[in-house]
């Protein structure tokens, strides 16, 4: 890539003049209009900095590609580029941190660097950068000087050296020198926040500019286009080293350097590879095991002699197989959707199909849904895959089919943290929570099976002080009005029995559930 030997662009010169003009205005009583001018300049500088950074990133990517293709030749320049990137990012981030520190000093902890409120604050920068409250100005000066010296070591062009020297100068202005001020004091004492942020952004812009100039120099120091062949090797490049029986093993046998004016002779496993194959070796696999691909490539040298380059590779043929796993243990439950994972090594999901001899089986996203219908009858899932254009059965996996386990009735409520809980009876329960509950629900008492049931009916029983049994019936899962009156009349220590609970699940089988005993506390 050609180096950029031209001086600063007109845009860069304009930005520099605007920056100098605004610094000169700092001696005046800064108005809001002038501070707004700083914002405009900073926005322009930020855009210019982003553009420079994008160009530099492109150059670093080129360096990565050069180093990957020829590390021996480019290593020295690649290491210099890596060091340059680390140093540039470090000082850039240092300035970013100083920006945030000044803005927080002006606007407080909730300050937003993109929306500074007190751009006219004259004390924030001094408090951060100057003694006695802060000493970061001296650290910034040292960082700028170290970075400038590192950059200057790699730049020989006099014009570019002058530009970089001026951009990173830490010599105080003449007026400040006459007053005995150092660079830090001249830059940050009695400076409004808006001006300081603009100065920081200009420094960041200068860093990316200098970084780009050095990157161009480093790139030009590598003769990237000069790739010389110093070694010739033969390679076997297979389509895969593990092949399913019945599939085709395919490999390219090539030289790492090629002469388009002649075709080399290729000998593979004792046979000559036909010229019209263009180096593609194919063999149909009929049995499993490990098989060699050995031979040599013979080519003519310029003096008429021949050079023989041997190669050796091997491939493995495996038996057809599939991985079938049930996400709900090793059985299928009748009447519900059972999620099944089906995969075949080396085969994409689009090339796989599966069938079931008991109920239905259909794909759903990354899984398959098995829905067996006959309880007690073994469900066999047959997996077929497309192997090199041929349909081939790769697995027959049996599953046991069982009915859904018996569900359990419970009352849903929310605890003090708002978390939904299930009360299953047999222990103390708040009367208020019981009245807040709409009724009872039913589900499997199993963390692995998330299956809900529909409550068809239930009855409540209480015993009054005379020992009489009071019973109320609800059609459905909700408490009836009379049952709610029953509950309201219960006092601490009293018991409420819920029995004759009937529920039906997704398998459409109606079941009678175990009763619940609720103790009012």
- Report, as an integer, the average pLDDT of 468-479: 91
Are residues 176 and 46 located together in one domain of the fold? yes
Domain assignment present for residue 331? The answer is yes
pLDDT in tens, 232-271: 667 677 766 556 666 677 777 776 665 555 677 889 998 8
**Which range among 275-279, 282-286, 493-497 shows the weakest confidence by mean pLDDT?**
275-279
pLDDT in tens, 205-237: 999 999 999 998 888 877 533 433 445 667 677
Residue 272's H or E segment, with its range, is strand 271-272
Are residues 134 and 176 located together in one domain of the fold? yes
Residue 202 clears pLDDT 80, i.e. is over it:
yes
pLDDT in tens, 143-176: 999 999 999 998 988 888 999 998 899 998 888 8
- Report, as an integer, the average pLDDT of 88-100: 92
Say what the pLDDT of residue 303 is: 46
Are residues 424 and 288 located together in one domain of the fold? no
Are residues 216 and 143 located together in one domain of the fold? yes
Say what the pLDDT of residue 9 is: 64
Residue 310 clears pLDDT 80, i.e. is over it:
yes
Are residues 499 and 355 located together in one domain of the fold? no
CA angle 284, 289, 291 (to 5 degrees): 65
- How are strands ordered across the β-sheet holding 367-371? 323-326, 338-343, 367-371, 360-364
- What b-and-e string marks burial along 343-373, b requiring 16 or more CB atoms within 10 Å of the CB? bbeebeeeebebebebbebeeeeeebebbbe
Domain assignment present for residue 448? The answer is yes
- Report, as an integer, the average pLDDT of 496-519: 91
Residue 376 clears pLDDT 90, i.e. is over it:
no
Are residues 378 and 337 located together in one domain of the fold? yes
pLDDT in tens, 424-452: 998 999 989 999 999 999 988 776 677 88
Phi, then psi, of 22 in degrees rounded to 5: -70, -35
CA angle 230, 235, 236 (to 5 degrees): 175
Residue 357 clears pLDDT 90, i.e. is over it:
yes
Residue 363 clears pLDDT 80, i.e. is over it:
yes
Residue 355 clears pLDDT 90, i.e. is over it:
yes
Is the CB of residue 120 less than 8 Å from the CB of residue 28? no
- Alpha carbons 369 and 362: distance in angstroms, whole number: 5
Say what the pLDDT of residue 7 is: 57
Residue 3 clears pLDDT 50, i.e. is over it:
no
Domain residues for 342? Answer: 323-402
Count Cβ atoms within 10 A of the Cβ of residue 379 and give its class: 0-12 exposed, 13-18 middle, 19 or more buried. buried
Domain assignment present for residue 227? The answer is no
> Mapping DSSP to helix (H, G, I), strand (E, B) and coil, where does residue 295 land?
strand
More confident: 16 or 192: 192
Residue closest to 333 by CA, chosen among 452, 503, 506, 514: 506
Are residues 159 and 66 located together in one domain of the fold? yes
Phi, then psi, of 420 in degrees rounded to 5: -70, 130
Domain assignment present for residue 229? The answer is no
* Residue at a domain's end among 318, 335, 360: 318
Say what the pLDDT of residue 207 is: 92
* Residue at a domain's end among 169, 197, 220: 220
Q: What is the mean pLDDT of the chain?
A: 82
- Alpha carbons 251 and 236: distance in angstroms, whole number: 6
Domain assignment present for residue 145? The answer is yes
Say what the pLDDT of residue 476 is: 92
Greatest mean pLDDT among 14-28, 323-337, 348-362 = 348-362
CATH of the domain at 302: 2.60.40
pLDDT band at 2 (very low <50, low <70, confident <90, very high): very low
Domains of the chain: total: 4
Domain assignment present for residue 78? The answer is yes
Are residues 62 and 183 located together in one domain of the fold? yes
- Alpha carbons 74 and 53: distance in angstroms, whole number: 23
Are residues 375 and 438 located together in one domain of the fold? no
- Report, as an integer, the average pLDDT of 301-311: 71
Are residues 66 and 166 located together in one domain of the fold? yes
Phi, then psi, of 515 in degrees rounded to 5: -70, 165
Are residues 21 and 145 located together in one domain of the fold? yes
Rg (CA), the chain: 40
Say what the pLDDT of residue 225 is: 39
Half-sphere exposure of 344 (CA within 13 A, CB side): 26
Is the CB of residue 490 less than 8 Å from the CB of residue 496? yes
Residue 20 clears pLDDT 90, i.e. is over it:
no
Is the CB of residue 237 less than 8 Å from the CB of residue 251? yes
Cis peptide before 202 (omega within 30 of 0): no
Say what the pLDDT of residue 115 is: 86
Are residues 310 and 337 located together in one domain of the fold? no
* Residue at a domain's end among 402, 425, 453: 402
Domain assignment present for residue 4? The answer is no
CATH of the domain at 336: 2.60.40.10
- Alpha carbons 356 and 286: distance in angstroms, whole number: 29
Say what the pLDDT of residue 503 is: 94
Residue 51 clears pLDDT 60, i.e. is over it:
yes
Say what the pLDDT of residue 13 is: 65
- Report, as an integer, the average pLDDT of 379-408: 87
- Report, as an integer, the average pLDDT of 69-93: 89
**Which range among 138-147, 234-243, 295-304 shows the weakest confidence by mean pLDDT?**
234-243
Chain centre to alpha carbon of residue 408: 42
Contacts of 502 by beta carbon, 8 Å cutoff, 6+ apart = 455, 456, 457, 458, 510, 511, 512, 513
Say what the pLDDT of residue 40 is: 59
pLDDT band at 281 (very low <50, low <70, confident <90, very high): confident
Domain assignment present for residue 267? The answer is yes
């Amino acid at each position: 890539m050609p180096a950029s030997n031209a001086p600063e662009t007109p845009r860069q010169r304009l930005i520099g003049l605007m920056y100098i003009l605004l610094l000169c205005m700092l001696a005046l009583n800064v108005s809001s209009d002038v501070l707004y001018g700083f914002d405009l300049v900073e926005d322009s500088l930020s855009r210019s900095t982003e553009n420079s950074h994008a160009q530099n990133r492109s150059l670093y990517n080129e360096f990565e590609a050069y180093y990957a293709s020829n590390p021996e030749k480019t290593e020295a320049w690649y290491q210099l580029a890596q060091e340059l990137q680390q140093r540039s990012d470090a000082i850039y981030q240092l300035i970013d941190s100083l920006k945030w520190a000044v803005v927080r000093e002006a606007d407080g902890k909730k300050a937003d660097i993109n929306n500074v409120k007190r751009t006219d604050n004259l004390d924030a920068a001094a408090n951060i950068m100057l003694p006695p409250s802060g000493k970061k100005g001296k650290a910034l000066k040292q960082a700028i000087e170290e970075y400038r010296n590192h950059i200057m070591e790699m730049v020989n062009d006099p014009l570019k050296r002058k530009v970089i020297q001026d951009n990173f100068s830490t010599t105080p202005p003449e007026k400040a020198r006459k007053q005995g001020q150092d660079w830090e004091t001249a830059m940050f004492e009695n400076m409004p926040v808006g001006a300081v942020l603009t100065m920081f952004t200009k420094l960041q812009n200068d860093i990316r500019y200098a970084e780009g100039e050095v990157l161009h120099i480093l790139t030009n120091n590598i003769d990237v286009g000069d790739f010389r062949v110093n070694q010739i090797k033969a390679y076997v490049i297979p389509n895969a080293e593990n092949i399913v029986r019945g599939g085709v093993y395919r490999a390219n046998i090539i030289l790492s350097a090629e002469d388009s004016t002649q075709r080399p002779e290729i000998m593979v496993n004792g046979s000559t590879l036909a010229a019209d194959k263009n180096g593609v070796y194919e063999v149909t696999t009929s049995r499993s095991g490990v098989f060699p691909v050995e031979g040599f490539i013979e080519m003519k040298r310029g003096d008429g002699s021949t050079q023989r380059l041997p190669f050796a590779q091997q491939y493995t043929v495996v038996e057809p197989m599939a991985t079938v796993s049930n996400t709900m243990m090793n059985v299928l439950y009748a009447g519900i959707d059972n999620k099944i994972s089906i995969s075949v090594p080396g085969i994409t999901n689009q090339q796989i199909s599966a069938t079931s001899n008991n109920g239905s089986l259909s794909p759903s996203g990354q899984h398959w849904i098995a829905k067996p219908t006959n309880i007690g009858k073994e469900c066999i899932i047959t997996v077929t895959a497309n192997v090199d254009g041929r349909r081939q059965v790769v697995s027959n996996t049996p599953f046991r089919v069982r009915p859904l386990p018996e569900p359990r009735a419970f009352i849903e409520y929310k605890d003090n943290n708002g978390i939904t809980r299930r009360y299953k009876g047999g222990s103390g329960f708040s009367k208020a929570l019981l009245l807040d509950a709409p009724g009872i629900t039913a589900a499997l008492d199993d963390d692995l099976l998330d299956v809900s049931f529909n409550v068809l009916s239930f009855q409540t029983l209480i015993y009054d002080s005379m020992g009489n049994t009071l019973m109320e019936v609800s059609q459905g899962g909700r408490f009836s009005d009379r049952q709610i009156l029953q509950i309201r009349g219960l006092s601490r220590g009293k018991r409420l029995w819920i029995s004759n609970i009937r529920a039906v699940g997704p398998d459409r089988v109606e079941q009678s559930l175990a009763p619940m005993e609720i103790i009012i506390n």
